């Protein structure tokens, strides 16, 4: 093979790789519906403890096997500290922060977001197996960061 041919092979390999990556990107975005999380809703961070649903943090049943878990994150803890749901429940986490930016990750699940004062985060997850999941703050938020956790207990 002469140099020109080798170069052509190389170029077409590169071009087809780019094409494959682009197709994968489009497929994940439009075929599978993957996208970056957006702003679910906003809330005035100064009034958050007086604004529904954050005036009553905790778990409520909204349908058969369906729950809403409203969480507040603050330095340094979560309210509520613990929720308990039966196995098989679909839990929609609705959360925000009252002071600075915190993290919210339910270990062993894909529930993972940042709590930003003024913005409401929301994500659902179905807990199929009984067990315990820690909710941890994964955004450094000061001296008590490592003490900031809560628990999901699945019975
Ligand atoms: Cu809150 Cu780290």
Output the pLDDT for position 52: 87
Output the pLDDT for position 38: 64
Q: Which residue, by CA, sits nearest to atom 1 of ligand 1?
A: 102
Strands (E), the chain: 41-42, 58-63, 66-74, 77-79, 82-85, 89-97, 102-106, 112-115, 119-127, 131-136, 149-154
pLDDT digits (tens, 9 = 90+) for 52-70: 899 999 999 999 999 999 9
Average of per-residue pLDDT across 17-28? 96
Chain CA centroid to CA 65, Å: 21
Would you say residue 34 has pLDDT above 90?
A: no
Place of tokens 């500290």: 81
Cβ of 105 closer than 6 Å to ligand 1, yes or no, is no
Output the pLDDT for position 35: 75
Output the pLDDT for position 39: 66
Confidence of residue 46 (pLDDT cuts 50, 70, 90): confident
Output the pLDDT for position 1: 72
Cβ of 102 closer than 6 Å to ligand 1, yes or no, is yes
Quote the CA–CA distance of 110 and 107 in Å, as a whole number.
8
Torsion of CA 111, 117, 118, 124, to 10 degrees: 10
Chain CA centroid to CA 90, Å: 15
Quote the CA–CA distance of 126 and 61 in Å, as a whole number.
14
Nearest Cα to Cα of residue 83 among 65, 68, 98, 96: 68
Weakest mean pLDDT among 30-34, 76-80, 86-90, 114-118: 30-34
């Amino acid at each position: 093979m002469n140099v020109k041919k080798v170069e052509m092979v190389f170029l077409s390999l590169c071009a087809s790789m780019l094409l494959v990556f682009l197709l994968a990107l489009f497929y994940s975005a439009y075929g599978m519906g993957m996208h970056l999380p957006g702003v679910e809703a906003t809330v005035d961070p100064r009034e958050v403890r007086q604004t529904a649903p954050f005036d009553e943090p905790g778990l409520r049943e909204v349908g058969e096997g369906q729950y809403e878990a409203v969480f507040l994150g603050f330095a340094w803890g979560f309210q509520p500290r613990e929720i308990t749901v039966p196995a098989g429940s679909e839990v929609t986490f609705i959360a925000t922060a009252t002071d600075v930016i915190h993290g919210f990750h339910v270990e062993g699940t894909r529930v993972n977001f940042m709590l930003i004062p003024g913005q409401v985060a929301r994500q659902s997850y179905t807990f199929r197996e009984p067990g315990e999941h820690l909710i941890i703050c994964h955004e450094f938020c000061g001296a008590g960061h490592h003490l900031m956790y809560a628990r999901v207990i699945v019975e």
